[in-house]
Amino acid sequence: MSASCEVYAPSDLKTALHLKSRYRDDLHVVAGGTLSVRLMSANAIETKNLMLLERLPLSFIRVSGRNVQIGAMTRLIDLIDNRLPKALVLAARSVRGLSIKSMATVGGNVFSPSPGCDVATALMALDAHLTLQSMNRKRSVPLEKFYRGPLKYSIRSNELVAMITVRNPPQYSTFTKLTPLPNSGPTIASVAIALDVNKREIVRRASVAVGGITTHPYRAKYVERFMLNKKLSNITLDQVEQGLVPKGLTIIKDANASSEYRERMVPVLFMRALNSLVKEVSRR
């Protein structure tokens, strides 16, 4: 870790964007610190300049009708809020312990690789969009298209993630994950499902995101298409299993689980998530 780097702690977004524009990739950005400070301490990155985001006014949750706007600096603990889609609440709740929940931010989580991307997995199932802001421009990018490969993101060197928006989320959503600990813990695999059904429980909209097994979450498009126009309770595992983990993915392995185990757990988690939605829909 360099002891001679310049440090900035801007209190307004304009100043932060000016610094990002000036230093570009030579500015290491720290949101909650759970990933960025760890990388610095491990000497995994060398930085000449440092920008702390925590004084920026980007910690907010705005719910307007069926739309939700979440500031990038909102802490995960603040997502445990009944006004938000259930998948998002469950994902935040599943993050290990009060300390990490109180430090980690939503904006940081979308950059975080597995096993630290639970909230990003839920957001992807909810079709979330990121607002990327630079000095002169603001643009919206679907989270799904934000990931261009392992640790490669669709963000320019002069931009910051300012806000995450979920527009008109499906009526039902859930998130489930497998961890080596009995309660919340590091993710081995996770599945988030969001869907709308009509009165006869026919699926009218479905999105399925898988997290924890690849560097970043992904959408199971085949499964989503298959679910459309099917009665929710009639969907079985053998119909969708092959589409949950498409061939060609590079599945991670770590001390918690092998890649084979991760892959095999995805269908199990999908069915757990689906069954919980079937029960929820039948209770309405």
CB of residue 38 vs another protein: minimum separation in angstroms?
A: 5
Stretch that binds another protein, among 15-23, 195-203, 223-231, 275-283 (CB under 8 A): 15-23
The secondary structure of the chain as a DSSP string is --SS-EEE--SSHHHHHHHHHHHGGGEEEESSSTTHHHHHHTT----SEEEE-TTSS---EEEETTEEEEETT-BGGGG--TTS-HHHHHHHHTSSHHHHHHH-BHHHHHHPPTTS-HHHHHHHHTT-EEEEE-SS-EEEEEHHHHEEETTEES--TT-EEEEEEE-S--SEEEEEEE-SSSSS-S-SEEEEEEEEE-TT-BEEEEEEEEESSSSS-EE-HHHHHHHTTSBGGG--HHHHHHHHS-TT-----BTTB-HHHHHHHHHHHHHHHHHHHHHHHHH-
- Count of chain residues binding another protein (CB under 8 A): 39
**Smaller CB distance to another protein: residue 41 or 198?**
41
Stretch that binds another protein, among 10-18, 138-146, 147-155, 270-278 (CB under 8 A): 10-18
Stretch that binds another protein, among 26-34, 120-128, 203-211, 274-282 (CB under 8 A): 26-34
Q: Counting contacts by CB under 8 A, is residue 37 touching another protein?
A: yes
Question: In this chain, which of 15, 69, 154, 233 binds another protein, going by CB under 8 A?
Answer: 15
Question: In this chain, which of 17, 29, 34, 133 binds another protein, going by CB under 8 A?
Answer: 34
Question: Which residues 163-192 are close enough to bind another protein by CB under 8 A?
Answer: 181, 183-185
The residues that touch another protein, with contacts defined as CB under 8 A, are 1-12, 15, 18-19, 30, 33-34, 37-38, 40-42, 50-52, 54, 93, 96-100, 102-103, 181, 183-185
